[in-house]
Structure 1
């Protein structure tokens, strides 16, 4: 059982790798994961999040600076693979330099190298923003959006066909530490998922691709297939 101090630590740590996706009209279309791999920087999400986006490079990925100034990443080199439900953008080193104090980038230091079957019954945290935690307001030509992240703590109950299956409950913990009802996981696809360990802190397992409180399950794609996808699409390996 995690104590409140550890919960606070894991909420803060897992949240820095997650970022929201908006369409050009500033409506939420999903979540995504920030990744540093082979000296390049990527935003990883699910391809189904972009299913109804006409031009993927029009997607807005906002970040709030420490001085409350909001900027968006300059997205480039869009790639996708519907077969594994993964899509990605590359971001420049300049963008990384301008955002590294507000966000973090998953690197191979925290890749989980355990046999997936050995992770069954382990604790997991998925940091995301669902549609319940997203608000959009229009005032003339000004559009304001706000997010409330949902650090979702649960247990891995199985591993099947490259996916971790996680126990899902309608009860979640918000970023202020309060419990609240999770009516939907919509908007959480693409969020990073981490195994919680006593000795090594958070270890990256993959990204959330699907989930339903009514079914009692969340599916997390193993990160190893994301790495294979990047090697194929960006490095020609």
Structure 2
């Protein structure tokens, strides 16, 4: 599978809907990973963290003349806590019991899911400068396999794909699609990887709906999830939350023994 095909098929289209009537409110993106023989869906908290709304996967199938959506329920969220001194058990208990006051919420969200085999990808055709015409054939969506040997390589170029500029009219979702490819990594921070779009952002609506989209490098590795662009639209950087950091939080939540006495 080529990198462009993986970039497109690994992007899981998400929708946020009202709990009461399930009317769509907004769209976002995510990725399904296989890690240690278990499956997780990952996205960003600024799209998914709305208590009165539910997040669903747009399966790409039609049921009763409506797009089929697989609703996911609650996600796990993480908070960054900075201690002046080494925390003891009492400090950690306080943070767990007071999550809203204990630190800054990280822009990530994830949850374990069962393996879904009914998410489909329709045929896509792209005319990319420097490459030419690329066709992504109709078929199933892809998951990304993640292992423990994980490191971001700054010499790789990256790509991401997603639905953008959502418009809900009479319950019908209209949108555009965007594919960005060949983006160099400018820098790696504590939480974010910075990519160079090669041209000014100009309009943040270019990315509205891409939040949570997987960033794939030329090795086929998952680098991060799209989070935000520069506030200054004359600049060309877009950022993704580092996936190696997300993997650490998944390890902590799902694969570590609980702290004794907590």
Q: Give your verdict on TM over 0.5.
A: yes
Cα 1:130–1:152 change in 2 (3 A) is same
The one-character-per-residue Cα deviations of 1:64-83 (angstroms, maximum 9, x if unpaired) are 13999732224145211143
Cα 1:121–1:102 change in 2 (3 A) is same
The secondary structure found in structure 2 opposite 1:90 is strand
Moved over 4 A (4+): 66-69, 169-172
User: d(CA) in 2 for partners of 1:66 and 1:169?
Assistant: 38
Indicate the residue corresponding to 2:44 in structure 1. Answer: 46
Asked if residue 157 in structure 1 is aligned to residue 179 in structure 2, the reply is: no
User: d(CA) in 2 for partners of 1:112 and 1:148?
Assistant: 36
User: d(CA) in 2 for partners of 1:66 and 1:15?
Assistant: 20
Kept in 1: contact 2:204–2:229 (CA 8 A):
no
Structure 2 gap ranges (5+): 18-22, 80-104, 121-138, 258-262
Asked if residue 190 in structure 1 is aligned to residue 212 in structure 2, the reply is: yes
Indicate the residue corresponding to 2:33 in structure 1. Answer: 35
Kindly tell me the number of residue pairs found equivalent between the two proteins: 205
Kept in 2: contact 1:129–1:147 (CA 8 A):
yes
Asked if residue 135 in structure 1 is aligned to residue 167 in structure 2, the reply is: yes
Kept in 2: contact 1:33–1:44 (CA 8 A):
yes
Alignment of structure 1 residues 89-108 onto 2, 5 Å: 89-93=111-115, 96-99=116-119, 102-108=140-146
Tell me the CA shift for residue 165 of structure 1. 0.9
Tell me the CA shift for residue 183 of structure 1. 4.8
Indicate the residue corresponding to 2:136 in structure 1. Answer: none
Structure 1 gap ranges (5+): 1-5, 173-180
Kept in 2: contact 1:60–1:72 (CA 8 A):
yes
Tell me the CA shift for residue 87 of structure 1. 0.7
The secondary structure found in structure 2 opposite 1:27 is strand
Of 221, 231, 234, 2:251 maps to 231
The one-character-per-residue Cα deviations of 1:168-189 (angstroms, maximum 9, x if unpaired) are 35589xxxxxxxx875323222
The secondary structure found in structure 2 opposite 1:155 is strand
Cα 1:104–1:149 change in 2 (3 A) is same
User: d(CA) in 2 for partners of 1:194 and 1:186?
Assistant: 19
Kept in 1: contact 2:185–2:196 (CA 8 A):
yes
The secondary structure found in structure 1 opposite 2:140 is coil
Tell me the CA shift for residue 129 of structure 1. 2.1
User: d(CA) in 2 for partners of 1:128 and 1:18?
Assistant: 7
Higher helix share: 1
User: d(CA) in 2 for partners of 1:191 and 1:147?
Assistant: 15
Cα 1:90–1:72 change in 2 (3 A) is farther
Q: Give me the CA root mean square deviation.
A: 3.1
